[in-house]
Structure 1
Amino acid sequence: MPLQDSNNPSDEKSESRLYIGNLDLRISEAALIKMFSPFGKIISEDFLWHTRGPKRGEPRGYAFVQFSTKEEAQQAKEKMHGKLVCGRPLIVRLASEKYLMEGGENSCKAVGGETTKPYLSGGSLTRMSRGAKIAAIKNKLKSMEEESHISKRQKPADSS
């Protein structure tokens, strides 16, 4: 089968599908659709939920919205990326885009316009190599274990 240019329907679909992240847990599917419907016809929406564990049934904090055209998706991305919703700036990008953006110019902007640290910021991992992410997680686990051991030792001393 010959390769097609930008007329490939799967390219069109991937260019019209948006990832919406950093959603406040109070945002419902209906609210999400209402926020993005002014930009065009939404043909599908995937709102992700925890399916097991202690957070089962709670929103995962991100969703995907599929528009009928890539132009609608692009407009929604431009207007909604960084917009504060329930006090949190939305992260809106094409679902096909890599998480690590090439220039990184717009990927790490804080609300005040200043750049954030290119590692653990607000609980999310950004612009880190896989090895650096693993090291950061191991360090966090180690510090949590140390805190746990310290608090266990102090409890018997506090009780009389």
Structure 2
Amino acid sequence: MNYDPTGSIDDKCEGRLYVGNLDLRITEAALLKMFSPFGKIVSEDFLWHTRGPKRGEPRGFAFIQYSTKEEAELAKEKMHGRLACGRPLVVRLAGEKCMSETADSSTKAVGEGHRMHLGGGGAVGQKSRSAKIAAIKNKLKSLEEESSKAKKQKQTDNIS
């Protein structure tokens, strides 16, 4: 999403919707067909897993850009909570995401939310990523130690 230095959303993003809780059977074409009655769709970003075991599978959410904010608001009003393949869709204006998540939280939480969502990860995201990497390394080390202990145990069992 594009933001200006004052922190407000660019005009280009005002008609942008986040569509979440998508069933993995929903295709891009089906998504466009569901949302096209509400206005002119300028662009659509259907997100896919790009790596890992789920590579090439849908991630379960997308962004739809309408030509006007009014069209996006109409689509949000009509589609939020509507069942698609048995799952209720989560539809909101793309800029509302972090605002609604932190609306009931303390001022500190709001600040952290903005840093996480608007700042592209920042130091908070980097720290948690480093912590995750350290945890994975520790897990690998403990698995290697267990494996070497098991091998030594087998060797002593074979000797006796």
Fold agreement, TM-score > 0.5: yes
The percent of aligned pairs where both chains have the same amino acid is 73
User: Which AA in structure 2 matches 1:80?
Assistant: M
User: Which AA in structure 2 matches 1:78?
Assistant: E
CA distance in 2, matches of 1:82, 1:90: 5
Indicate conservation of the 8 Å contact 1:18/1:73, yes or no: yes
User: Which AA in structure 2 matches 1:26?
Assistant: R
User: Which AA in structure 1 matches 2:61?
Assistant: Y
User: Which AA in structure 1 matches 2:22?
Assistant: L
CA distance in 1, matches of 2:77, 2:104: 17
User: Which AA in structure 2 matches 1:71?
Assistant: E
Q: Aligned residue for 1:92?
A: 91
What is the CA RMSD across the aligned residues, in angstroms? 2.5
Alignment pair present for 1:81 and 2:72: no
Q: Aligned residue for 2:41?
A: 42
CA distance in 2, matches of 1:89, 1:57: 24
Q: How many residues align?
A: 100
Structure 1, unaligned runs of 5 or more: 105-129, 135-160
CA distance in 2, matches of 1:44, 1:103: 32
Larger helix proportion of the pair: 2
CA distance in 2, matches of 1:27, 1:74: 22
Alignment pair present for 1:32 and 2:36: no
**SS of the residue 1:25 aligns to:** coil
Q: Aligned residue for 2:131?
A: none
CA distance in 2, matches of 1:58, 1:83: 23
1:4-55 deviation digits (Å, cap 9, x = unpaired): xxxx9x6322210000000000000000000000000000000000001100
Q: Mark the CA change 1:103 to 1:70 in structure 2 (over 3 Å): closer, same or farther.
A: farther
User: Which AA in structure 2 matches 1:88?
Assistant: R
Indicate conservation of the 8 Å contact 1:16/1:66, yes or no: yes
Q: Aligned residue for 1:13?
A: 12
User: Which AA in structure 2 matches 1:25?
Assistant: L
**SS of the residue 1:96 aligns to:** helix
CA distance in 2, matches of 1:98, 1:26: 24
Q: Which runs of 4+ in 1 moved over 3 A?
A: none
1:37-87 deviation digits (Å, cap 9, x = unpaired): 000000000000000110000000000000000000000000000001001
Indicate conservation of the 8 Å contact 1:49/1:59, yes or no: yes
Q: Aligned residue for 1:23?
A: 22
Q: Aligned residue for 2:143?
A: none
Q: Aligned residue for 1:58?
A: 57
CA distance in 2, matches of 1:99, 1:35: 25
Which has more radius of gyration? 2
CA distance in 2, matches of 1:52, 1:20: 22
Structure 2, unaligned runs of 5 or more: 106-123, 129-160
